[in-house]
Amino acid sequence: MYKTFPLYTIIFRRILVVLAGVLAFPVMACLQSRSQFYSYLHRSWHKTSTKPVWLKQTEKGSKELF
């Protein structure tokens, strides 16, 4: 049902996230919505499949409880 992304896609996405974070830092340092922007970058960093990040984290959390 969910597709896992190949390694080159994950690496490319993470390079783009780092570049966006570094380039946006001077602008985001002055804005109030910086937490929302960096939260989006964090979700993009952790995405390794078409499964929603929140669903993956929920499944991971339930496994740790048992």
- Report pLDDT digits (tens) over 6-52: 999 999 999 999 999 999 988 888 888 888 888 888 888 888 888 88
Question: Amino acid letter at 12?
Answer: F
pLDDT at position 12, please? 94
Q: Which structure tokens are listed for 12?
A: 């490319």
37 in a structural domain: yes
Most distant pair of Cα atoms in the chain: their distance: 44
Query: Would you state the structure tokens that stand for residue 19, as one six-digit string?
Result: 């570049």
User: pLDDT value at position 7?
Assistant: 92
d(CA 14, CA 45): 6
**Domain limits for position 58:** 7-65
Question: How far apart (Å, rounded) are the C-alpha atoms in residues 15 and 7?
Answer: 12
Asked if residue 35 is part of any domain, the answer here is yes
pLDDT of residue 13: 92
Tell me which DSSP letter residue 49 carries: B
Total domains, the chain: 1
Q: Are 42 and 33 in contact (CB under 8 A)?
A: no
Query: Is 90 exceeded by the pLDDT of residue 60?
Result: no
